[in-house]
Structure 1
Amino acid sequence: MKAAVLHGFGENPRYEEFRKPNPGEGEILIRVKAVALENIDKAMAKGTHFASRQFLSELPAIVGFDGVGETPDGRLVGFGGVKAPFGAMAEWTVVPSNYTVPIPDGVDAITAASVPSSALTALFPLKWVAGMKSGETVLINGATGVSGKLAVQIAKMLGAGRIVGTGRNPESMKRVLEYGADAVIDLKQPQEELTETFRREAGEGYDVILDFLWGSPTEALIRSMVPDEIRLAGKRTRLVQIGEKAGETIALSAEMLRTTGLEIYGGAAGLTGETMQEGTNMVWDWLKEDKLRMDVDVVELRDIERIWQRKDFEGKRIVIVT
């Protein structure tokens, strides 16, 4: 069979022949239909992810850890639980039978592979971590990314009163406005100007912040919340930290916490099986009702070497199809 095969950490996967897997006891053979190419796939292949050698325990191996495919009886399912050397980016893979979930009727393989995980990355922090209430002001810091664009749409469906996004790419910032944001802040401004823009767009203050960036943009954001005179903080601002695209660390002074009413949570705080199931059902319903949109580039498996080296994914999900 054809597959995207990694021969060594730090190399690019190659499109080549690989032996077809045979399912063992408790396993099921999957005819792969669609697999999303995500940053974690590249980090694993580089060997820089902490779990690289756990999931790629032998080389050569096929890259990719989950996807959407067909079972031998023709059912469309999402799958995970792949074990080296048989990853997801191949014509066939095998997974434990209990690592498959049915894809609802009306949802195609490409949509099922590209949207749900990113939608949950936005939905769970909004609904369960921050507990967003109808009418609240929401800031999506990093709204031009895949999950950021979905976060704008989901915040709107959950009843946000005002939505502010941030980004750098002009075309992507226009898309964020089309998806329902009331304003978009350009992060390319000098730091002092950026801080003032955050302050101005906040109005009476941000209630919920989803932070996909961290680093200097988040420093400017938190600095904008510090009052310039002694007063009661009044508002509680719930910041949910999800990503670190702009940097791994920030300078957080005691004053920033003491005077702002800022509360910081991790993106997976309180995650349970029940909330995951409820959130997944919500996402499936939105997809069947065509309420979530995503910019997707569909790429043939044979082009894996070319697409692996691309860097201009701004706000798009890359989906590999076989």
Structure 2
Amino acid sequence: MTAPPALPRASREVRLAALPEGLPRPEHFHVVETPMPRPGAGEVLVRNRYFQVFPAVRTLVGGGVEGAPFSGVAPGDPLLGPAVGEVVARPGPAGPPLGAWVSHFLGWREYAVVPAEGCTPLGEGELPDPAAHLSQGSLAYTALTRIAGLRPGETVFVSGGAGATGSMAGQIARLLGAGRVIGSTGSPAKADRMTGGLGYDAVVPRGPEGSFSARLAEAAPGGIDVLVDMVGGEQLQAAVRAARPGARFVLVGTLAGQLSDTGGGTTAPVEIDTYQLVVKRITMRGISGLDHPEVHAEWNRKFGDWLRSGEITFPHARIAGMDNAPRALHELMAGRHLGAVLVEL
């Protein structure tokens, strides 16, 4: 297939330049120019408009985790991540038509050849802003409705409440009728924003090792019914201590491992008192963004309605340009931004 004349001869992408020791920095990546990729049978060419920068990049450059939906990357490989863009070439009948907006997992590049079955068409006008399809609200909504089964009046604790998922989870829990919503963060400025419009009644700050449990107990004197956990580590231990009988825990992320200066971001060990799990009858289940695909359409309908009514916001930072993507990752891992971090092309 011959690419349309409007397409450039080359594309650019972010590749891993060298394996980091500790947290990756901008110098561990480089932006390279490559020949324009050409789709084959059953594929489409997508011009990416936005892609998400997320902490799991640390896991990818660390070699990945067995059983995860995406393998690790080695030096010289392009990075991966959620993206949205427009279909600009299609050699056959398979896949969305030219001009359609789609989401897929080949971000960190200007143009991506995506298998037709690997991209999800975005409903026209479904959300006010196409970038909102990169919200992690669907994951938070699934955790609260399908896994935790949140009931009106219950107390919810969201660890990592200022991140891409946490900044949505507090708002969703409030809209679903939670009686009290508690989050955690390491930034006083973020804590103010969380209680000032993101659904949180209280925010537990991170502090010296071993002190988080007492601060969570103070914020939730009656205990917690639901945990949406993005962190693990000490905060998961504290949630076990604070759990009410019959509490439901949903494990979504592993920031304690991914943002650690040591290790490769592929493990997140934590010691839990299993006596407490037994006597409190706590249920604990992990979830990934690929679970429960049937929730996708339901979430988009609710999300679109809530955005238009002003009942919910999509907290995010937009970083302009491919050249700034490595810096955006560094700023994310340093805790510079609240909500999702997107690169706009």
TM over 0.5: yes
Using the TM superposition, give the Cα deviation of residue 205 of structure 1 relative to its aligned residue in structure 2, in angstroms. 2.7
Which secondary structure does the structure 1 equivalent of 2:171 belong to? helix
Which secondary structure does the structure 1 equivalent of 2:255 belong to? coil
| Contact 2:232–2:255 (8 Å) recurs in 1 | yes
Q: Which residue is equivalent to 1:195?
A: 213
User: Match of 1:3, as an amino acid?
Assistant: R
Q: 1:89/1:243 Cα in 2 relative to 1: closer, same or farther (>3 Å)?
A: closer
Matched, 1:301 2:300: no
Q: 1:100/1:136 Cα in 2 relative to 1: closer, same or farther (>3 Å)?
A: same
User: Match of 2:102, as an amino acid?
Assistant: V
Tell me, in whole angstroms, the C-alpha distance in 2 between the residues paired with 1:5 and 1:251.
37
Using the TM superposition, give the Cα deviation of residue 212 of structure 1 relative to its aligned residue in structure 2, in angstroms. 1.5
Using the TM superposition, give the Cα deviation of residue 243 of structure 1 relative to its aligned residue in structure 2, in angstroms. 1.8
| Contact 1:35–1:64 (8 Å) recurs in 2 | no
User: Match of 1:132, as an amino acid?
Assistant: L
Q: Normalising by the residue count of structure 2, what TM-score does the alignment of the two structures yield?
A: 0.77
Q: 1:282/1:216 Cα in 2 relative to 1: closer, same or farther (>3 Å)?
A: same
Q: Normalising by the residue count of structure 1, what TM-score does the alignment of the two structures yield?
A: 0.82
| Contact 1:2–1:15 (8 Å) recurs in 2 | no
Tell me, in whole angstroms, the C-alpha distance in 1 between the residues paired with 2:281 and 2:68.
39
| Contact 1:299–1:318 (8 Å) recurs in 2 | no
Using the TM superposition, give the Cα deviation of residue 280 of structure 1 relative to its aligned residue in structure 2, in angstroms. 4.2
Which secondary structure does the structure 1 equivalent of 2:165 belong to? helix
For residues 126-177 of structure 1, what are the alpha-carbon distances to aligned partners after superposition, in whole Å with 9 as ceiling and x for unaligned?
Answer: 1110100112111112212221111100101111111111222111111110
Q: 1:158/1:92 Cα in 2 relative to 1: closer, same or farther (>3 Å)?
A: same
Q: 1:119/1:223 Cα in 2 relative to 1: closer, same or farther (>3 Å)?
A: same
Structure-to-structure mapping, 1:1-322, within 5 angstroms: 1-6=10-15, 8=17, 10=19, 12-50=28-66, 60-72=76-88, 73-80=98-105, 87-103=106-122, 104-105=124-125, 106-113=127-134, 115=135, 118-178=136-196, 179-188=198-207, 191=210, 193-225=211-243, 235-247=245-257, 248-268=268-288, 271-290=291-310, 291-310=312-331, 311-313=333-335, 314-322=337-345
Q: 1:13/1:284 Cα in 2 relative to 1: closer, same or farther (>3 Å)?
A: farther
For residues 194-239 of structure 1, what are the alpha-carbon distances to aligned partners after superposition, in whole Å with 9 as ceiling and x for unaligned?
Answer: 33332333243311111212111222332345xxxxxxx7x32112
User: Match of 1:20, as an amino acid?
Assistant: M
Which secondary structure does the structure 1 equivalent of 2:49 belong to? strand
User: Match of 1:318, as an amino acid?
Assistant: V
Kindly tell me the number of residue pairs found equivalent between the two proteins: 304
Question: Which 5+ residue runs of structure 1 have no aligned equivalent?
Answer: 81-86, 226-232
Tell me, in whole angstroms, the C-alpha distance in 1 between the residues paired with 2:175 and 2:113.
37
| Contact 2:46–2:112 (8 Å) recurs in 1 | yes
| Contact 1:164–1:185 (8 Å) recurs in 2 | yes
Using the TM superposition, give the Cα deviation of residue 35 of structure 1 relative to its aligned residue in structure 2, in angstroms. 0.7
| Contact 2:160–2:231 (8 Å) recurs in 1 | yes
> Quick check: 87-96 or 25-34, which moved more?
87-96
Q: Which residue is equivalent to 1:229?
A: none
Q: 1:296/1:7 Cα in 2 relative to 1: closer, same or farther (>3 Å)?
A: closer
For residues 230-275 of structure 1, what are the alpha-carbon distances to aligned partners after superposition, in whole Å with 9 as ceiling and x for unaligned?
Answer: xxx7x32112122222252332224312333422222359943323
Tell me, in whole angstroms, the C-alpha distance in 2 between the residues paired with 1:254 and 1:63.
38
Using the TM superposition, give the Cα deviation of residue 21 of structure 1 relative to its aligned residue in structure 2, in angstroms. 0.8
Q: 1:220/1:61 Cα in 2 relative to 1: closer, same or farther (>3 Å)?
A: closer
Q: Which residue is equivalent to 1:228?
A: none
Q: 1:112/1:288 Cα in 2 relative to 1: closer, same or farther (>3 Å)?
A: farther
Q: 1:140/1:100 Cα in 2 relative to 1: closer, same or farther (>3 Å)?
A: same
User: Match of 2:256, as an amino acid?
Assistant: A
Question: Which 5+ residue runs of structure 2 have no aligned equivalent?
Answer: 1-9, 21-27, 89-97, 258-267
User: Match of 2:341, as an amino acid?
Assistant: I
RMSD: 3.0
Q: 1:34/1:249 Cα in 2 relative to 1: closer, same or farther (>3 Å)?
A: same
Q: Which residue is equivalent to 2:92?
A: none
Identity, % of aligned positions: 23
